[in-house]
Structure 1
Amino acid sequence: MNNTSDVALTDLDMIVGVATPIVSVKPVVLSAPGRGEDLQVRVSAPVTGRELPVIIFSHGFGWSLDGYAPLADFWAAHGFVVIQPTHLDSRTLNIFPQDPRTPRIWLFRVEDVKRILDQLDYIEAAVPGLSGRLDRSRIAVAGHSWGAQTVGMLLGARVLDANGEKGEDMYDSRVKAGVLLAATGQGGADLTPFAAEHFPFMNPSFAEMTTPALIVAGDHDQSMLSVRGPDWFTDPYYLSSGSKSLLTLFGAEHSLGGIPGYTVTETTDENPARVALIQRLSVAYLRSALGLDDSAWPAARAALAETPDPLGRIESK
């Protein structure tokens, strides 16, 4: 880390507080009729504390409940119960493109998160020492890449069909806030021909995405699925309504410095300071968005703004 990054992180550490020991349990298996596979989740939680807020994290394409430790562990160590499902696109399940479920995997992803919400009592009872410690009034969803698209649907985004008509409304009022990491932008003419042909669900309307959310985008994230530049990943902020914040990370590509894991070979922009910034800013944002500490997010925004040569910038609406 350079010195200016150290200053920013020191200030942010004072805002988010010290880490506490955590416990992680996997797999907790949820019955999922009609899915073809039971839903497996990992649950990570601080070993102490009550009335703990919940984050359900949706992984990117191919990943599983074993990914994204830099985020999941940090969130749990700072007071959140983190639940990570393994979606059907995971490489660990090895579902072939010819599988009849493949065209609907994006829908199964949303259903996975809703199933977790429906079965929080079961999940809480399945983890030793967790019973009676969840705060069901403070639930957030977070996701990276395809997982961020999944999150957007739960916050109110809709998929447009070939005629521009809005598809099923998958908004879930139990979710009070979201974090969208490298979320893809609007479809239509902004998609490459390949993406338009193979991923028809990548045609969102963000106008109905009203739930408060933090959108995180890298200004060097050039997608092979879009004919636009890195600004494509800011669409969920600019095209949505309601309370939103946008964190633009300077020099960041799709892995945002390495959030999928500390030793992941597909990370093209490894930057531990960038990951550390995301960790701390996401905690501060969710503490304010979930009503735990109204001062956390304003203080974090001020700390970043006052940092010489910062790693990113924040704007809000």
Structure 2
Amino acid sequence: MSEPSLKPDRAPVPAATPTLSFNPVRFDVPGRIAPLELRVTAPATGEALPILLLSHGHGASNYLSSSRGYAPLVDFYAAHGFVVIQPTHQDSKTLALDPTGPEGPLFWRSRARDMHFILDHLDAIEAAVPFLAGRLAKDRVVAVGHSLGGHTVCLLAGMRMTDADGHLVDLTEPRLKAAVVFGGPGDGKDVAAWAAENYPDLKNNDFSTMTLPMLVVAGDKDFHPFFSERQDWRADAYRLGPAPKTLLTVFGAEHLYGGISGYDAKEATDEDPQRLADMQRLSWAYLRSALDPQDAAWAAVVEELTKADKPVAAVESK
């Protein structure tokens, strides 16, 4: 393996700590076809822990696109101070719900409402998980999403959509402090014909009202012409969203960013342990500094990127 691009002796990442995971936490939610199931993963010790909501993608896999997936991110975030809450959204293939129903196949509205429900019921989640009592910083909440999960997080961050009936939908979640989006959908105005036919709701994304601070992660090889003919489509949340936003363009990254959705996952066409490690540390550092402006983690990592002989990514902010 190549020499790490963020040197362990300089990167502002503390040593990993032991974690605990509890699964499932189950709720019957009015209007939801299936019960809402959550996995909660947290540091084994520590108090006043910030909360991270993680939204999985819509991908082709059966289990990675559920609360069972994204272990590379979940393990890292929890081992470095976050309580990670993962829902299984209703588009997950593990549930085998009718993809032709009123919300199918993306269940985009339900996905965002899952996150609202979680934040409305943090006390119940805390009571259900044996190791959480009194340890949550309920006013320090961030969100991370990949692919369709990025779309969900953008909705929570203030992106608006027009539904099939012509109604403007606003699912903004004001309790969020910051977000990270990996490879989220872009602008719908020039979405490709295949996506327009199969996922028509993606035609209606409006980033102009998305005001939450956000790190938009876009791979320079995360290009799929059946979604858009533009190679920068995955960067639209940065390009079209108002400040404050930061764009992280990852060199050589395809849609799985080194393997964020699962260890040794066949769907990771760009599997790369070093790229994955960079994605873990960079996204963690951004969230740390977003929650605490006195925390220099993000500034230190960006400085390393700019000084590296062969930088793994480029950073742009507004």
Fold agreement, TM-score > 0.5: yes
1:60 aligns with 2:57: yes
Tell me the equivalent position of 1:183.
Answer: 184
Q: Name stretches of at least 5 consecutive residues in structure 2 with no aligned partner.
A: 60-64
Q: Tell me the distance in 2 between the aligned counterparts of 1:244 and 1:289.
A: 11
1:174-214: CA deviation from partner (whole Å, max 9, x where unpaired): 011011000111012x2122222332321211111100011
1:152-173: CA deviation from partner (whole Å, max 9, x where unpaired): 000000114689x772111111
SS of aligned partner of 2:51: strand
Where in structure 2 are the equivalents of 1:24-63 lying within 5 Å? 24-62=21-59, 63=65
Tell me the equivalent position of 1:89.
Answer: 91
Contact 1:8–1:304, Cα closer than 8 Å, also in 2: yes
Tell me the equivalent position of 2:171.
Answer: 170
SS of aligned partner of 1:253: coil
- Residue 98 and residue 183 in structure 1: after superposition, are their counterparts in 2 closer, same or farther (change >3 A)? closer
1:18 aligns with 2:18: no
1:282 aligns with 2:289: no
Instruction: Tell me the CA shift for residue 7 of structure 1.
Output: 4.7
Q: Tell me the distance in 2 between the aligned counterparts of 1:270 and 1:7.
A: 16
- Residue 162 and residue 113 in structure 1: after superposition, are their counterparts in 2 closer, same or farther (change >3 A)? closer
Instruction: Tell me the CA shift for residue 103 of structure 1.
Output: 5.6
Tell me the equivalent position of 2:240.
Answer: 239
Tell me the equivalent position of 1:195.
Answer: 195
SS of aligned partner of 1:201: helix
1:254 aligns with 2:255: yes
Tell me the equivalent position of 2:62.
Answer: none
One-letter amino acid of the structure 2 residue matched with residue 16 of structure 1: V
Where in structure 2 are the equivalents of 1:2-13 lying within 5 Å? 2-3=2-3, 6-11=4-9, 13=11
Q: TM-score, normalised by structure 2?
A: 0.93
- Residue 12 and residue 139 in structure 1: after superposition, are their counterparts in 2 closer, same or farther (change >3 A)? farther
Instruction: Tell me the CA shift for residue 315 of structure 1.
Output: 1.2
- Residue 84 and residue 173 in structure 1: after superposition, are their counterparts in 2 closer, same or farther (change >3 A)? same
Q: Tell me the distance in 1 between the aligned counterparts of 2:34 and 2:313.
A: 40
1:90-130: CA deviation from partner (whole Å, max 9, x where unpaired): 11111132344426711010111111111111111111121
Instruction: Tell me the CA shift for residue 294 of structure 1.
Output: 3.0
Q: TM-score, normalised by structure 1?
A: 0.94
- Residue 166 and residue 301 in structure 1: after superposition, are their counterparts in 2 closer, same or farther (change >3 A)? farther
Tell me the equivalent position of 1:212.
Answer: 213
Tell me the equivalent position of 2:120.
Answer: 118
SS of aligned partner of 1:260: coil
1:127 aligns with 2:124: no
Q: Tell me the distance in 2 between the aligned counterparts of 1:286 and 1:124.
A: 22
- Residue 218 and residue 11 in structure 1: after superposition, are their counterparts in 2 closer, same or farther (change >3 A)? farther
Instruction: Tell me the CA shift for residue 311 of structure 1.
Output: 1.2
Q: Name stretches of at least 5 consecutive residues in structure 1 with no aligned partner.
A: none
1:229-270: CA deviation from partner (whole Å, max 9, x where unpaired): 331111100111121111111111111111011121111111
SS of aligned partner of 1:234: helix
- Counting aligned pairs with the same residue, the percent is 48
Q: Tell me the distance in 1 between the aligned counterparts of 2:254 and 2:7.
A: 21
Q: Tell me the distance in 2 between the aligned counterparts of 1:103 and 1:60.
A: 13
Contact 1:12–1:280, Cα closer than 8 Å, also in 2: no
Q: Tell me the distance in 1 between the aligned counterparts of 2:41 and 2:176.
A: 19
Please list every run of at least 4 consecutive aligned residues from structure 1 whose deviation after the TM superposition is greater than 6 angstroms.
none
Contact 1:9–1:276, Cα closer than 8 Å, also in 2: no
Contact 1:45–1:77, Cα closer than 8 Å, also in 2: yes
Instruction: Tell me the CA shift for residue 293 of structure 1.
Output: 4.2
Instruction: Tell me the CA shift for residue 31 of structure 1.
Output: 2.0
Q: Tell me the distance in 1 between the aligned counterparts of 2:225 and 2:36.
A: 30
Q: Tell me the distance in 1 between the aligned counterparts of 2:82 and 2:67.
A: 16
- Residue 316 and residue 132 in structure 1: after superposition, are their counterparts in 2 closer, same or farther (change >3 A)? same
SS of aligned partner of 2:8: helix
